[in-house]
Every structure is written in C-alpha cells, then in structure tokens.
Structure 1
Amino acid sequence: MNRKHLFGLLTLSALLAACGQTPVAQTSPDTQMPGAVASTPEFVDGELLVQLRRGLSAQAVTELSALGVQSVERLAVVEGAALLRARITDGQSVTAKAAQLQASGLVRFAEPNWVYQHQATATDDQFANGTLWGMYGDASTPANQYGSQAAEAWARGSVGSDSVYVGIIDEGYQFDHPDLRNNAWLNPYEKANGIDDDGNGYVDDLRGWDFANNDNTVYDGGTRGSLDAHGTHVAGTIGGTANDGGVVGVNHNVTFISGKFLGRRGGNTADAIKAADYFTNLKTLHKLNIVATNNSWGGGGYSQALYEAIVRGANAGILFIAAAGNSGTDNDATASYPSNYDTTKDAGYDAVIAVAAIDKAGALASFSQYGKTQVDLGAPGVAITSSVPYNSYASYNGTSMATPHVTGGAALYASTHPGATALQIRQAILDSVIATPSLNGKTVTGGRLNVSGF
C-alpha cells in the first residue's frame, strides 16, 4: 500500500501547472525531501524565505545583513525562531545567496520565494438543463454517473451546514454574488472601525484578508468583474446556494472565508504561507469549525516554509485540498507542488488531498496530472459551470475545478458528522470513491469522488 493511502488548475484552454525544480537549500535534517520536479519554475527576483535556526536571537538578523540580506517581513515564528521574507542587497543571485546563507550556520533553510499562477478563459452562461453535470449522480434527475453524486446526497437531506467553514486560498471572490452572499463569511469578531478588534493582526478583516495587496478588500473585480473570477468560480462549486435561479454547489449551506493571495501577477510563497496561517489562527483563536482549505493553484518548486505552514494547519485539524496540476504529467515522476506535499511525518496523518480532473464521460482529462502514489482521486473538472463576477456564470476546465468538488465533499461530510477529525474526513472521502477505469493506476484510490457514499 502506498504512502498516500496509508493515511488514508485551472486549464480553461491554458494550464495552471505546478512545475518546479529542487531548491538549492534543503539540507536541514527535518526537511521533507522533494522528488524530481519539472524545469524552470518562477520565483520573485531578489527575494528569499529564510528560517533562522532555533535559539538564535535578533542578533542573527544583524549578521544576515552583513551577508547581504535584509529582512523585510516576519512571516511566522516556528518553534521560537523567525521565518523571514528577505531581500538580497548585494546583487547576488537567489541561488547563490541561498547557498551562502545555508553555509553560514545561521539558518535552518533559505529558499526562493516561488511564484504561483493560474490562467483563465471563460466559455458560457445550470442544474435542471443538464449543465451542472458535476453535481449529478447516476440516480438523480438529470443524471450522470460520473458526477460527484451530490444530488443524491441532497435527496436524503444532506445539504451542508453554515456551522462548517472552508478557507479559499486563491484569488478573492465576489462575496455579494447572488449565489454566494448567503454563504459568505462576515467576521462577527470585527467591526468596520479601523481597529483590530479580535487581535489576530488584521484590521477589519470582515470577509477574510487580501494578502496579495495587504488589505481587507478581498474582492477587487468591481461591477465589471475583471478580477477574481477564478476564486468566485471555486466558491460557487463549493457552496453556491440552491433554488435561486443560478448554479448550486456541493453544499447548499456552508461558510467560506477568503484568503486571497493570487493577484494580477499571480502569487508567491510568502503570501501563501500567510494565508494558510490565517486560517490556522482563526481556528485556534475563535474555535471556528474550519475543516479544509481549497488550493486550486501551483507553479513553484518545493518549499520547506510552505510545507511547515500546511503542517501547522494539519495539526489544527485543517485539510489542505489541492489541484494535481494541468500539465498532463505523472506527479510520481515529476513532483507538483503543493499537491505533492505529505504531512504524515510531522502531523501524524496526510492532510493533503490531491485531485485529478475527469470529464462527463469518466475519462481522465487530457490536461490533468495524475500519479498512482501522489494523486488521491478524480473529480469533475471539464465543462464546469459556476459563478463568476459580476453576478454571472461561466464554464471552466481544470483540476482547479475538480478540487472544490472535493473540498465541498469534505464540508458536506463534516456537516453530517459533527466532531469528525480531519483524518476521519479524509478517510471518508477516499474510502467512498467509485472505481473508475480511467483512474486505475493513475490515482491512489483508482476512483472518483462520491459524496453520497459517506
């Protein structure tokens, strides 16, 4: 039995691929060793993520400055040592500076600040007319055996709960969209008063936080809807409300929170870490029932810093559900992040669920990445209609679209199994899959999502 089962992107005509190469500075003994990865990932020029060694004081920051590195932001404190976003000040390359810092003895690791991307192309403007095939089951009306079986779960009264929360680490989303506004989080611990009322470090984070622009405006698309379409589409698949004339998500009732880190030029590791930690903090600070985050993005190489942020979430009981990628390659042979991370070593279970895309005939999508030991299951990801700005609907393709079907499934299970652990939710999802020939030998389970099987 392989390591994934033991404990347990959007291509719209383009690719949201997670491609990368092994960073130069991953020699710390507690580093999860990455596999071979695809070539030439992007990173932020002139920046590094630097984790100081345990026990080193602020004096280490001064010593780093002497080595041509200036701290510009503290991202987290891990076991008493700071994780820093740092700027290279002496003109050396990212690779050379990472190697120099690793040799200095001051850091656990130094690595690039990887860049993540997605690309979007829309095609059209739901359940009754056959469009929302990803929500169907083999016994629903309309029917499609390769859908998520959500309609069959609804028929027996399983429609979700507002007391279940999911984080959307992505672009922002149009929280006042007719199909989203009733499930959009409004922070009860904050007031719009310019004060950090709940003490979580974010002022007036009423709907979540925009880490790309460092403000509380999680939707930047305006009434023209030119931005945040991808995040809005993801939200609609997880929890578009029912019986309102638009689309419907896996959950009729759920609460989603925005952790926007993808902006006009994509996103980076530093902001992804802050987004992941934001949800971990909300769960620990306010005891919110955050069961999962949706991560329909990729593009960088292995990051020890991001891995550890995912572990912090895992230890708080938050699943990290991730798109397998859209390059059509084997993730067993060519690692794709973040979907290839495995938190078992440091969290006691694997909180990462990697999702491939299938089409309405049950075939593995031509663009979808796969992996017998690295990709857990398939879900609908071709011709998926959902909400987009402004107050509209569109059809997208990608593992980005498959992933929120699974995140929705996690939320649906949590609504009918109060108190279920992240591991129990994970196991329920993987144990209930329907065997699918196109996924045999291509995924851990060899099957597709079945939310009616919980």
Structure 2
Amino acid sequence: GAPAAAKVGEAPMLATGASSDPIVLAPASTDSGPEWGIKAINADDVWATYGKHGEGIVVMSADTGVEWDHPAIKEKYRGWNGSSVSHAYNWHDAIQNLPEPLDDNDHGTHTTGTMVGDDGMGNQVGVAPGAKWIACRNMDHGNGQPSTYIDCMEWAMAPYPTGGDPALDGRPDLAPDAINNSWACPPSEGCSANTLKTAFENLLAAGILPVAANGNSGPACATTNDPPALYDSAFSAGAVDITITIATFSSRGPVTADGSGRRKPDVSAPGVDVRSSVRGGGYANFSGTSMASPHVTGGAALLWSVNPFFRPLLRITECLLEHSAQHVRNYWPQTCGGDSPNARPNNIWGWGLIDVLGAIQYGPDSDSDSVADKCDCAPLDGGAFDSPSEVTGVLFAADRQTLSWDSQGSTAGSGTSYDVARGRISQLRTDGNFSHASCLASSIPATAVTDADAPPSGDSFYYLSRARNTCGIGTYGSMSDGTVRSITACP
C-alpha cells in the first residue's frame, strides 16, 4: 500500500501493513532552480552537458493516482497535446475505473513530479522534465491488493482506453519505458513473498524497467521483505539524505522472506525532505524510499534520452547505474548479511547513490561496442554484449519457403547468429518430444533461411529457432507448462 503521513517533526513512522513515508509540508511558493536531489544525482549536469532532459521516453506512475493538470506535470502528460486532453491509453484506474485521472493521497502526484516535474517558473522538481508520463491508480487512499497491482502492470504492457477490451484494444506500442513503483504489498493486503513475482518478471520480458521503493522499515537488517522491492526483477532504491547518508528508515537487506538471501537495495537515491508536486497545484517535502525510487526512474529516462542504444538493454541500464554509483555514508558502523564494512555493493545502500552523468560516461569500453567493460558479458568481443533471449517474430514469407525472425543485434550484439531446427508434426505427436528434429541451419548470421523441401503428403513441418553469441546460447522457447524445450539437433 501507499505510505502514511507523519506530522512535521515526527520521526519516520513504523510500517503498519505497508512502508510509511514521513511527510513534511513545504511552502507552495516558487523555489529557484533544481531541487537538491536532482543535483545530488547529477541530473542537472546531464541537462547542461548533453541538452537532454528525457525526451522520447515515457515513464509510468503506478501509485495513488495523479493530479494530471498540476502546473509542474501537465505539459509532460502524454495525454495533453498543448490545447486538449485525451486520457485514452494514458490513464487507467484499477480502483474505480474512473475515466479521468485523480489522486486521492498526494503521493502519486509527488512521485510523478520527481520523475518529470518542472512548471517553467523555477519549480524544477523533476529529474527528466523532457519525458512524458502516463499513470495507473493501483491504490484506494493508500491501500491496494494483488489484483489492483497486477491490473496496473497488465495495463502497462498494452494500454487500452477506459471501458475498452484489453485483448482487442490493447496497444503494446504505447507501453511505457519504465514504471515507478513507490508502494509495497504486505501480508495485510494479501501478498506473500512470491505473489507478484511473475507479474514483475513479465514487465521485464516486455522490455519495461520496473523500479521500486525498497521500503521504510530500517535500520534493522533483513527488513526488505515485501513485494515488489524484494524481487530480483525489481530495481529497488534505498533513500539518502542531503548529506548523502543512508536514511535510518531505509530498509536493509538481505531478503529473507523468500529464502533467497538476495542483496537489497540495488542502489540508493535522494529520499529525505524531497520537494515535489502535490494536489492543489502546490508543493511539499516528503521523505521515504518512495521519494528515492522516482529519482532512479527519472535517471533511467535521462540515460536513455542521451543514448537510446541502451533503451532495450535493461540489464545493462541497471549495471551502468550501479557501477557508476557514488559512495554513501551511514550514521554508525553497520553490516548486514555478512557484508564486510567496506563492501560495495552491500545490504545497506546497495551500490550507492546513482550518478546519472557518471552512468552515461561510464567506461572503459575496450571493444568499442558502446557497452562498458563491467557491464559487457564479452568485453573483448565487439559483436556481443549480452546473452541472447528467446527468438521472436518467427514467420513465413508469401513464398511459403522463407522463414524469418527478429534480429537480436540491438539487444545482444551484431555478432549474434542463429540455429534453426526442423521436424515433422507427425513425429512430434508420436514421440511427444523433439528427438527426431534435424538442424536446418546452424550459426547463421542472417535472420532468414529458405527451406525448399516439402513435407510428406498429409504431414507438416514445424520450425524452431534460437540465438547464440560469445555470451551464451539462447533457448528454443518453452513448452506450455513452462519447461524449456530440449532440442539437440544443432550443435
């Protein structure tokens, strides 16, 4: 659920079913220049150095909703064209199915402002003010449940208009590039450790970066225990203050809820006294890892706008933000999960405070394939920088002899090659496996192959393809039960 509020001067509230974000009200008057958090992650230096502010990138708020016409974020709403508004494909309400955006909590308007906010009058509250935003309301006054969280994630992968049919009206081409998740789903809302695991893995598979608040149950170790922060598929953020010291309330790892012992958080970002937009056209200072997470989401948008090459490379995007991160202090000596005192990454602040300019400029890149050595699985092979994924887009041309598929050159490297296995449908039915498949093509650089052979009368051929490069060999896909297809036809 969404965080609860604390009165001015109170310490961070303890979680009561969800991580809580202490809130301090700030004057609604105009502030001058970028907020401290923007400067701390060097987002303003990216603006000055590259002239980019997130242009061409779409971020999504999965939160309590958004006051869409707030002066700091109205011009950045994808549904606003400068003179009229359309909420279709840009807003979804998993709570009441309302056709127009609203925020019943301030929280969603605040986190959206941190991603993209700038009113042009000095209130530079957003990391990537050139990016566009869309939103899905997944909580009712701060309370959600698995079904509402999943509803928003499914909508994100193929947005559809209010009242539309997801199967018929869904538009994957309008999916966001990244989703900010400043919420937690504790047992009181119906979540166990793995309840949302598949949903977050599906976001990654769809090419969407899920960023999550790491939780506010610190300073004890092993307090990152609620979805989605605990997942490997969620890029989670701890919170630091203006002195670049980890916040006492910021949850620590390792993750124990699923037995993984996973290190968390992944990185840290500004999350104490963060000034951003709230309902009524105003501004307020909030504190919590909910405030850190949108700094990271906006940081990814900035990186991609400067170098679109990295947009489909989510693992490498995370790696660049991690390895370029800056050291974070703690108020007292602390180790969690067996970390040594100087370990980096660690279970207190992860890799450190993100540095967006540092991520963009991170190197060296020994093989000149645009991916820094530390994030390149084959740092001396210019034709490979990531392991191949499952081949997609397989289809026959009109001649019914030419089989083609999507290239993985942009996601795995220009040196990626492909294997194609062929078999008879009748044999597959008899065997129940692919043991009689033959190798039609092995390690070919092309993304198409021609098969002039015709199957025996009354039979048909099936075809399966996989990709390979120096970093590894992909799969031929999975069976309906989720198991990976086992085919040994091609060496």
| Other structure's SS at 2:57 match | strand
Contact kept? 1:376, 1:443, Cα under 8 Å: no
Query: 2:251 is matched with which residue?
Result: 369
Structure 1 residues without counterparts, runs of 5 or longer: 1-8, 20-40, 42-115, 137-146, 194-203, 221-226, 343-350
Structure-2 change in CA distance of 1:16 and 1:304 (3 Å): farther
1:278 to 2:155 alignment: yes
Tell me by how many angstroms 1:217 deviates. Answer: 2.5
Tell me by how many angstroms 1:117 deviates. Answer: 6.9
Query: 1:291 is matched with which residue?
Result: 177
**Aligned mate of 1:428, from 316, 320, 323:** 320
Q: How large is the Cα RMSD of the aligned pairs?
A: 3.0
Q: Aligned residues: percent identity?
A: 29
Trace 1:5-20 onto structure 2 (pairs within 5 A): 10=3, 12-13=5-6
Give the distance between the partners of 1:357 and 1:248, measured in 2 at CA: 17
Query: 1:407 is matched with which residue?
Result: 297
Structure-2 change in CA distance of 1:161 and 1:408 (3 Å): closer
Higher relative contact order (CA 8 A, sep 6+): 1
1:250 to 2:127 alignment: yes
Give the distance between the partners of 2:277 and 2:12, measured in 1 at CA: 20
Give the distance between the partners of 2:13 and 2:57, measured in 1 at CA: 28
**Aligned mate of 2:280, from 376, 386, 390:** 390
**Aligned mate of 1:359, from 222, 231, 241:** 241
| Other structure's SS at 2:123 match | coil
Structure-2 change in CA distance of 1:323 and 1:230 (3 Å): same
1:214 to 2:101 alignment: no
Give the distance between the partners of 2:350 and 2:237, measured in 1 at CA: 11
Structure 2 residues without counterparts, runs of 5 or longer: 161-169, 255-262, 335-341, 361-491
Query: 2:209 is matched with which residue?
Result: 319
Residue identity opposite 2:318 in structure 1: R
Counting helix residues as a fraction of each chain, which structure ranks higher?
1
Give the distance between the partners of 2:235 and 2:205, measured in 1 at CA: 15
Give the distance between the partners of 1:304 and 1:214, measured in 2 at CA: 27
Tell me by how many angstroms 1:323 deviates. Answer: 0.8
Larger radius of gyration: 2
Give the distance between the partners of 1:327 and 1:187, measured in 2 at CA: 38
1:133 to 2:133 alignment: no
Give the distance between the partners of 1:219 and 1:167, measured in 2 at CA: 15
Tell me by how many angstroms 1:246 deviates. Answer: 2.2
| Other structure's SS at 1:390 match | helix
Tell me by how many angstroms 1:317 deviates. Answer: 1.1
Structure-2 change in CA distance of 1:212 and 1:380 (3 Å): same
Trace 1:295-310 onto structure 2 (pairs within 5 A): 295-301=181-187, 302-310=192-200
Q: How far does the alpha carbon of each residue in 1:362-403 deviate from its partner, in whole angstroms, 9 at most, with x for none?
A: 111111112261211111111100011111111111111111
Residue identity opposite 1:210 in structure 2: D
Structure-2 change in CA distance of 1:264 and 1:254 (3 Å): same
Structure-2 change in CA distance of 1:246 and 1:292 (3 Å): same
Query: 2:62 is matched with which residue?
Result: 169
Tell me by how many angstroms 1:241 deviates. Answer: 2.3
Contact kept? 1:321, 1:403, Cα under 8 Å: yes
Contact kept? 1:120, 1:230, Cα under 8 Å: no
Contact kept? 2:37, 2:270, Cα under 8 Å: yes
Counting strand residues as a fraction of each chain, which structure ranks higher?
1
Contact kept? 1:11, 1:399, Cα under 8 Å: no
Query: 2:477 is matched with which residue?
Result: none
In the superposition, the TM-score normalised over structure 2's length comes to 0.58
1:447 to 2:352 alignment: yes
Structure-2 change in CA distance of 1:258 and 1:289 (3 Å): closer
Residue identity opposite 2:68 in structure 1: F
Contact kept? 1:164, 1:255, Cα under 8 Å: yes
Q: How far does the alpha carbon of each residue in 1:34-90 deviate from its partner, in whole angstroms, 9 at most, with x for none?
A: xxxxxxx5xxxxxxxxxxxxxxxxxxxxxxxxxxxxxxxxxxxxxxxxxxxxxxxxx
Give the distance between the partners of 1:282 and 1:359, measured in 2 at CA: 36
Structure-2 change in CA distance of 1:169 and 1:155 (3 Å): same
| Other structure's SS at 1:374 match | coil
Contact kept? 2:42, 2:355, Cα under 8 Å: yes
Contact kept? 2:238, 2:349, Cα under 8 Å: no
Structure-2 change in CA distance of 1:231 and 1:331 (3 Å): farther
Residue identity opposite 1:262 in structure 2: M
Query: 1:339 is matched with which residue?
Result: 229
Give the distance between the partners of 1:127 and 1:363, measured in 2 at CA: 27
Structure-2 change in CA distance of 1:170 and 1:434 (3 Å): same
Of 436-445 and 256-265, more deviation after overlay is shown by 436-445
Contact kept? 1:127, 1:247, Cα under 8 Å: no
Contact kept? 2:224, 2:253, Cα under 8 Å: no
| Other structure's SS at 2:120 match | coil
Trace 1:191-270 onto structure 2 (pairs within 5 A): 205=88, 207-220=90-103, 227-241=104-118, 243-264=120-141, 266-270=143-147
Give the distance between the partners of 1:127 and 1:443, measured in 2 at CA: 35
| Other structure's SS at 2:131 match | strand
